Amino acid sequence: MKKTLLVLLIICVMSGVFLTVEILRTRQNTAKVPEINAIEKKEEPIAPPTPVITNREIIAKNLTLDNLTPEDVAYFLNLDLDAPASSAEVLEKNLAKLTTFSGLLQSASKDSVTIAPLFNAPESFAFLPTSKIERNNDEVLWEKLVKGDRVDLIALDGQVVKMVSSGLITNAELGETVSEATSLPPELVDKLLKGDLKGLEQDALNSVKTYLTSYYGIPADAVDAIINGNFTVSQETVEQLLLGKLIGVLGNTQSSNVTPTTES
């Protein structure tokens, strides 16, 4: 009997121990859930990405010089205007170092230019492949510069960023302009500007003849006859080559060139 009671007592004690362990384990698992939720609640929201500042924005904000555009600066510094600025501080410092210089052009070469201001000593600046040169509102090479031109120059550390020059139109520039406007060969325009009318007349006739024969397919002998005032070309040839209007134009031109005579 005593043994039976002892066994029952041991069983009760062990059951109590197991029950206590399960209760403690359940409480621990239950306590972990609020801790996890608390950790999740403590996480801060993700901040939005910082807006990207481009080279264009920095240059536009800091550029205050006349005759200079953001494109000029970007070209000189070899920058992509719309790319993110790698170092906004460095770019701002470079822009702050841009200086202007005005005066008369004293000399120029492929490597440098010398400007003489009104009251100060002449100063030289280095040309770089990225330096921009303008003369009379046209972008030109340094060879087009003329001594005595009025110059406004923008430099960075003694190097030309952009140079704006203005002066008298040269014969070469005039010849180029007339040639482009009239589609005449530059050699023909050059003779016209030099007053070589005798040479110009023959060259002009040759140009007209070449134009008519090559572009319109008119035979050379027919053109020679018309130019020489021989209007006995057959009607068939005239109709075939559609020279009726051309003959009329040339005839009117020759009539207008005849000097009227006066009887004494």
Task: Answer yes or no: is pLDDT of 103 > 50.
Answer: yes
Tens digit of pLDDT for each residue in 164-189? 999 987 777 777 776 776 666 777 76
Task: Answer yes or no: is pLDDT of 17 > 70.
Answer: no
Task: Answer yes or no: is pLDDT of 244 > 80.
Answer: no
Tens digit of pLDDT for each residue in 213-223? 776 566 777 76
- If one compares 228 and 74, the residue with the highest pLDDT of the two is 74
The pLDDT score that the predictor gives to residue 104 is 95
Going from the C-alpha of 233 to that of each of 20, 49, 208, the distances in angstroms are: 133, 85, 19
161, containing H or E segment: strand 159-166
Protein fold of 100-167 = OB fold (Dihydrolipoamide Acetyltransferase, E2P) (2.40.50)
Task: Answer yes or no: is pLDDT of 152 > 80.
Answer: yes
Task: Answer yes or no: is pLDDT of 128 > 90.
Answer: yes
Task: Show Cβ contacts of residue 126 under 8 Å, excluding neighbours closer than 6 positions.
Answer: 111, 112, 158, 159, 160
Task: Show Cβ contacts of residue 74 under 8 Å, excluding neighbours closer than 6 positions.
Answer: 55, 56, 59, 80, 81
The pLDDT score that the predictor gives to residue 175 is 73
Q: Average pLDDT, stretch 101-116? A: 94
Task: Answer yes or no: is pLDDT of 14 > 80.
Answer: no
